[in-house]
Amino acid sequence: MVERGFITVIGCNKCGKCDNVCPKRAIERIDGITRISHEKCDLCMGCVEIFPNKALKLLE
């Protein structure tokens, strides 16, 4: 887990694979757009590490 920063969505192709990745349910899809709830996210990095195309990225 990292100490600071936030997860952002870059290049999402709406594959839906992230639906069950986040233990905090911080990955949300609203009107077809994937976003991260920064209130729920604890920066565990699980979602960043699972996608080889880097659709989710940590910004520090």
Which two structure tokens, joined as six digits, stand for 40? 């729920």
Q: Which two tokens stand for residue 43?
A: 């920066």
- At 19, give phi and psi (nearest 5°): -55, -40
Name residues contacting ligand SF4, limited to 26-55 (CB under 6 A). Answer: 26-27, 36, 41-47
DSSP β-ladder status, 27-30 and 33-36: antiparallel
In angstroms, what is the minimal distance from the CB of 35 to ligand SF4? Answer: 10
Task: Out of 9, 21, 28, 57, point to the residue binding ligand SF4 (CB under 6 A).
Answer: 21
Give the footprint of ligand SF4 on this chain (CB under 6 A). 7, 21-22, 24, 26-27, 36, 41-47
